[in-house]
Structure 1
Amino acid sequence: MIVYNPSGSHPESLRNCQVYMKRILLAIFIGLGLSACATSPLGRTQFMMMPEDQMAVMGAQAFVNMKQKLPIDQSPQTNQYVVCVAESIVKEIGGNGGQWEVKVFQDDSPNAFALPGGKIGVHSGILRVARNQDQLAAVIAHEVAHVLSRHSNERASQQLAMQQGLNVIQAITNPTTQTGQMMMGVLGLGAQYGVLMPYGRLQESEADVVGLELMARAGFDPQQSIDLWLNMEQAGGGQPIEFLSTHPSHATRMQELKQHMPKALELHRSAQALGKTPRCGA
Structure 2
Amino acid sequence: MTIKFLDQDPIIISRRKLVQGLAAGSIVAVAGCARNQAIGRDQLLLVSEGQIAQMAAASWTQLKRQTKISQDRNLNRRLNTVGNKIVQTAGLQRQPWEFTVFDDDQANAFVLPGGKVGFYTGIFKRMKNDHHLATVMGHEVGHVTGRHAAERYSQQVAAGVATTAAAVALEAGDVRGGAQIAGILGLGVQFGILLPYSRRHELEADRLGVNYMHRAGYDARQAVAFWDNMSSQRTGSSPPEFMSTHPSDATRKNAIRQELQRLGLA
- Do Structure 1 and Structure 2 share a fold, with TM-score over 0.5? yes
Amino acid at match of 1:246: T
| Contact 2:87 2:93 (8 Å CA) reproduced | no
Structure 2 SS opposite 1:103: strand
Cα 1:149–1:262 shift into 2, 3 Å: same
Structure 1 SS opposite 2:47: coil
Equivalent residue for 1:65, pick from 56, 62, 66: 62
**1:45 Cα deviation (Å)?**
2.2
Amino acid at match of 1:42: I
| Contact 1:102 1:120 (8 Å CA) reproduced | yes
**1:205 Cα deviation (Å)?**
0.9
Q: In the TM superposition, what whole-angstrom CA distance separates every residue of 1:157-205 from its partner, at most 9, and x where no partner exists?
A: 12223457xxxxxxxxxxxxxxxxxxxxxxxxxxxxxxxx897111111
Structure 2 SS opposite 1:200: helix
| Contact 1:73 1:106 (8 Å CA) reproduced | yes
Equivalent residue for 1:208, pick from 206, 209, 218: 206
Root mean square deviation of aligned Cα: 2.7
Amino acid at match of 1:79: N
**1:230 Cα deviation (Å)?**
0.5
Are residue 261 (structure 1) and residue 260 (structure 2) matched? yes
Equivalent residue for 1:218, pick from 209, 216, 219: 216
Structure 1 SS opposite 2:35: strand
Equivalent residue for 1:160, pick from 148, 157, 160: 157
For residues 94 and 233 of structure 2, the distance between their equivalents in structure 1, rounded to whole angstroms, comes to 32
Structure 2 SS opposite 1:104: strand
Are residue 145 (structure 1) and residue 123 (structure 2) matched? no
For residues 235 and 62 of structure 2, the distance between their equivalents in structure 1, rounded to whole angstroms, comes to 31
Long gaps (5+) in structure 2: 1-22, 162-194
Larger radius of gyration: 1
Amino acid at match of 2:130: Q
For residues 44 and 141 of structure 1, the distance between their equivalents in structure 2, rounded to whole angstroms, comes to 20
| Contact 2:33 2:42 (8 Å CA) reproduced | no
| Contact 2:152 2:198 (8 Å CA) reproduced | no
Name the residue aligned to 2:85.
Answer: 88
Q: In the TM superposition, what whole-angstrom CA distance separates every residue of 1:110-132 from its partner, at most 9, and x where no partner exists?
A: 00011111111000000011211
For residues 101 and 58 of structure 2, the distance between their equivalents in structure 1, rounded to whole angstroms, comes to 17
For residues 71 and 31 of structure 2, the distance between their equivalents in structure 1, rounded to whole angstroms, comes to 48
For residues 109 and 264 of structure 1, the distance between their equivalents in structure 2, rounded to whole angstroms, comes to 32
Cα 1:95–1:224 shift into 2, 3 Å: closer
Amino acid at match of 1:108: D
For residues 260 and 36 of structure 1, the distance between their equivalents in structure 2, rounded to whole angstroms, comes to 27
For residues 96 and 44 of structure 2, the distance between their equivalents in structure 1, rounded to whole angstroms, comes to 27
| Contact 1:151 1:199 (8 Å CA) reproduced | no
Cα 1:131–1:207 shift into 2, 3 Å: same
How do residues 1-282 of structure 1 correspond to structure 2 at under 5 angstroms?
32-39=29-36, 41-94=38-91, 97-163=94-160, 200-237=198-235, 239=237, 246-264=245-263
For residues 150 and 53 of structure 2, the distance between their equivalents in structure 1, rounded to whole angstroms, comes to 10
Cα 1:256–1:83 shift into 2, 3 Å: same
Relative to structure 2, which stretch is displaced further, 41-50 or 215-224? 41-50
Cα 1:211–1:65 shift into 2, 3 Å: same
Cα 1:215–1:129 shift into 2, 3 Å: same
For residues 32 and 246 of structure 1, the distance between their equivalents in structure 2, rounded to whole angstroms, comes to 25
For residues 87 and 202 of structure 1, the distance between their equivalents in structure 2, rounded to whole angstroms, comes to 26
| Contact 1:216 1:265 (8 Å CA) reproduced | no
Structure 1 SS opposite 2:235: coil
| Contact 1:212 1:264 (8 Å CA) reproduced | no
Q: In the TM superposition, what whole-angstrom CA distance separates every residue of 1:100-146 from its partner, at most 9, and x where no partner exists?
A: 11100011010001111111100000001121100011011101111
Identical columns (%): 38
Long gaps (5+) in structure 1: 1-25, 165-196, 267-282
**1:60 Cα deviation (Å)?**
2.4
Name the count of aligned residue pairs: 205
**1:30 Cα deviation (Å)?**
6.9
